[in-house]
Structure 1
Amino acid sequence: MKKHRILHITGSFNQGGTERQAIETVRGLVAADEFDIRLATLNLEGPLLAEARDLTAEPIHTFPIDSFMSRSFVRAVVACSRLIKDEDIDLIHSHDFYTNIFAAAVGAFAGVAVRIASKRETFGMRSRRQESVENFAFKHADAIVANSSAVKEMLVEHGIAGEKVSVIYNSLDTSRFENASANGIRSALHLPGETPLITLVANLRHDVKNVPMFLRAARKVTETTRAHFVIAGEGPLEAELKDLAASLGIAGEVSFIGRSMRVPELLSASFAGVLTSNAEGFSNSIIEYMAAGKPVVATRVGGAAEVISEGETGFLVEANDSERLAEHLITLLKSPDEAARLGERGRSLVKERFAKPRQIEALSELYRRKLREAFL
């Protein structure tokens, strides 16, 4: 029996949560071998590109655009539509804001049987105009994958039919974190040898990650307790964040290590993980911290409360409450046995709820259902 052919479209291969989830999704679907999976992008760049190229035997198709209002957008839509017709694509699945808009135009132009969009962030990260355009794309999609119940609720509040939205949480290859060794990672990243490490994994491209909150908490913690704070991520905000650390008098207690391809090893060496975002759909970092067996202190945004059980796997604080964040970290640092227990509970929860096979089966079932409806 011929396999249904599915085209996944991602914006780029930068090392962000959305890009990582797109790659892990394609990897899992290819391994399951139920569908014929193809991959396309708007921008053939990023540190994950080599990994992406190894996923399928087919080349990655590229459809570069300058803006939605440019001629390049029209050319890209026409080219992708031709690909869909030539290769008999049955379903297209877009993974982020830009590809949701692009795929909506392609789907309408090419007449593809099934269009699935994704929403991986809460509102507040886009302009009103962008949100309006994306909502239009959602209303013309056959289904939308939301990565948390919080995101689904937000979509429904903005006029999207609830039955159109499927909650499929981010997945994780937990073995990458279970088998990671901390040996040598402190030396390789020029981190202190014995001091407990408090780690934030976040890009430094968007203010929404609220890294200043992390730094303000770091100052309060280091006033009373021995700890070193690590920021793993890169972006144009790095220089001003370093200036802020210096002005807070904690430049020596904070390490900006840039983009790291060794996050499992870094987390293995860490004491706790932190999320300080003002808005998220569902944070990859939280489940990575938990998979590494570390307690988590996170802001109560997006789907954080759907994975963190207060006092069981970590703690939740309100956005910008650096005082409360610091208090929880100090408590953990003074109670390492309790911190280890929280970390182990988190590890068990991630293995049970967020292991990759669970996500792939849920997504495959969505594909089956929508393809059956389209080809009845």
Structure 2
Amino acid sequence: MQRRIVFHVPSLRGGGAERVFVLMANEMARRGHEVTLFTWNGEGPNAALRSDAVHFVDLGIPIHGEGFGKPATIAGLWRSAGFYRRLKPDAVFSGPEFANLITALALNLGFSKAKFFPSFHAAAAIPSNDFGSKLAVLLSGLVAARATKAIAVSAGVGRDIAARGVAAGRIAVINNPLPPAAARTGQVYPWQAELTALGEGPVIATAGRLVGVKDHKTLLRAFAALLKTRPARLVLFGEGPLLGELEAESRVLGIASRVLFPGYVNDPAACYAAADLFVLSSTSEGFGNVLIEAMAAGVPVVSTDAPHGPREILADGKYGTLTPVGDVDALADAMGATLERPTDAALLRGRAADYTVERIGDQYEALLR
């Protein structure tokens, strides 16, 4: 039965909930549903992923820094309520935290009878100084009361939101999907030549925002320790406020000539093709999309045992070594050992296949019944 579905994220600039919702909107539209992707600001790299079969509604609210500002947020709430009142959707999916609160309020203000599925992508261990996120946590009871079911991207995140008062029977654990495999374009990027110029040795890669929770300093220090035993190169794909600080750290450690910061690269296939090993050094990780993307490309992975996604994805270490959060020596040892004895690529690809868009789409569609 065809349903009228809305996927709402505030913008398309991020990489977690934003990418997931574009992928799931595409998948639900492919299955014959009437799907709208609804944003407050439609700019960002994830916009290019949207299928033409997905309707797009963008309020065009400017972003200032990391948010919209209080007056624009209040205006956006009222405009959102009007949007839901006019469209009369059967189901609304939202994320992340603050978008869940706004959507719950907007659905109530718009007198909408739509089923509501707020999604939770971050572990409770991730600290946030963002006013909106803090407010969303404080008012999580309102979201829980309006929700048909709450989607947790990992079992650990499910436990977190249950601890905040969401009834266990109203939590659906649905992992994030693996993006469809993108064909290599053959395009040549400047960073590839820069990587070659770093010299010999296997390439260790990571990808993500250059922010504190990713703990790239531990990765840099572990890489410095590894260089004492073997040649290697490190590339950190991503952008963020800590770029200058991390570049300075690499100089202090004396490894700047072996480390590359190419910025955000909107071609994951090229990034993983360059890597001999992928490392995630986060202190907290609700899921860990980059791990399954690397595994799908056949790239061995090492990760900190950050709550909660890595342990679930790597099946307690079956598919890649888990190291204690913040442990430089353990991370260096795991990187060296995995380079010496890489995990079988077929095993990694088989595990990544558990997270295809089609499989995750089945779970999303089941919520509509």
Q: TM-score, normalised by structure 1?
A: 0.88
What amino acid does structure 2 have at the position aligned with 1:156?
A
CA distance in 2, matches of 1:260, 1:101: 31
Q: Distance in 1 between matches of 2:55 and 2:25?
A: 13
Q: How does 1:252-263 map to 2 (within 5 A)?
A: 252-263=257-268
User: Would you say the 8 A contact 1:13–1:45 is kept in 2?
Assistant: yes
Superposed CA RMSD: 2.3
Partner of 1:47: 45
Deviations 1:185-206 (A, max 9, x none): 68635212752110011111x3
Distance in 2 between residues matched to 1:331 and 1:277, nearest whole Å:
20
2:61 is matched with 64
- For 1:189 and 1:300, the matched residues in 2 are separated by 33
Sort the Cα spacing of 1:139 and 1:226 in 2 relative to 1 into closer, same or farther, 3 A: farther
SS of corresponding position for 1:48 = helix
Instruction: Report what 1:373 is aligned to.
Output: none
- SS in structure 2 at match of 1:175: coil
Residue type matched to 1:74 in 2? I
C-alpha spacing 1:324/1:181, structure 2 compared with 1 (3 Å): farther
1: CA distance, partners of 2:69 / 2:262: 38
Give the equivalent residue in structure 1 for 2:94.
94
Query: How many percent of aligned residue pairs carry the same amino acid?
Result: 25
Matched residue, 1:371:
none
Q: TM-score when scaled to structure 2?
A: 0.90
Partner of 2:24, secondary structure, is helix
The letter of the residue matching 2:238 is: G
Select the residue among 260, 274, 280 that pairs with 1:275. Answer: 280
User: Structure 1 residues 132, 321: closer, same or farther in 2, change over 3 A?
Assistant: same
> Given the alignment of the two structures, is residue 208 of structure 1 paired with residue 213 of structure 2, yes or no?
yes
- Taking a change above 3 Å as real, the CA distance of residues 209 and 194 of structure 1, as seen in their structure-2 partners, is same
SS in 1 for 2:342: helix
Counterpart CA distance in 2 for 1:209 and 1:282 is 13
Distance 2:256 2:62 in 1: 40
Q: CA deviation at 1:268?
A: 1.6
CA distance in 2, matches of 1:182, 1:216: 33
- Give yes or no for contact 2:80–2:106 (8 Å, CA) kept in 1: yes
Task: Look up the SS of the partner of 1:270 in the other structure.
Answer: coil
Pick which of 167-176 and 236-245 moved more. 167-176
The worse-fitting range, judged by mean Cα deviation, of 136-145 and 7-16 is 136-145
Tell me which amino acid in the other structure corresponds to 1:96. P
Number of the residue aligned with 1:149? 155
Q: Which residue of 2 aligns with 1:164?
A: 170
- Pick which of 210-219 and 74-83 moved more: 74-83
For 1:339, what is the secondary structure of its paired residue? coil
Once residues 187 and 349 of structure 2 are traced to their aligned partners in structure 1, the CA distance between those partners, rounded to angstroms, is 20
| 8 Å contact from structure 1 (residues 80, 106) kept in 2 | yes
Give the length in aligned residue pairs. 357
Tell me which residue corresponds to 1:290: 295
Distance (whole Å) between structure 1 residues aligned to residue 193 and residue 22 of structure 2: 26
Stretches (4+) displaced over 6 A: 65-69
Q: Is residue 331 of structure 1 aligned with residue 334 of structure 2?
A: no
Indicate if the aligned counterparts of 2:29 and 2:54 stay in contact, CA closer than 8 A: no
**Which amino acid counterpart does residue 250 of structure 1 have in structure 2?**
I
Distance in 1 separating the partners of 2:236 and 2:191: 16
Q: Residue in 1 aligned with 2:73?
A: 73
After TM superposition, give the deviation of residue 180 of structure 1 in Å: 4.1
**In 2: Cα distance, 1:203 partner to 1:187 partner:** 18
Tell me the CA shift for residue 51 of structure 1.
3.3
Provide the secondary structure at the position in 2 that maps to 1:8: strand
Segments of structure 2 that go 5 or more residues without pairing to the other structure are none
Please give the residue correspondences for 1:132-143 in structure 2 after superposition, counting only pairs within 5 Å. 132-143=138-149
| Structure 1 gap ranges (5+) | 369-376
Match of 1:221, SS state, is helix
Distance 1:311 1:49 in 2: 35
Residue 218 of structure 1 pairs with residue 257 of structure 2: no
Distance (Å, rounded) in 2 between the aligned partners of 1:70 and 1:81:
17
Give the match for residue 318 of structure 2: 312
Per the alignment, in what secondary structure is the counterpart of residue 224 of structure 1?
coil
Q: Deviations over 1:238-271 (max 9, x none)?
A: 0111001100110011100100012212212211
Say if 1:320 and 1:157 are closer, same or farther in 2 by CA, change over 3 A: same
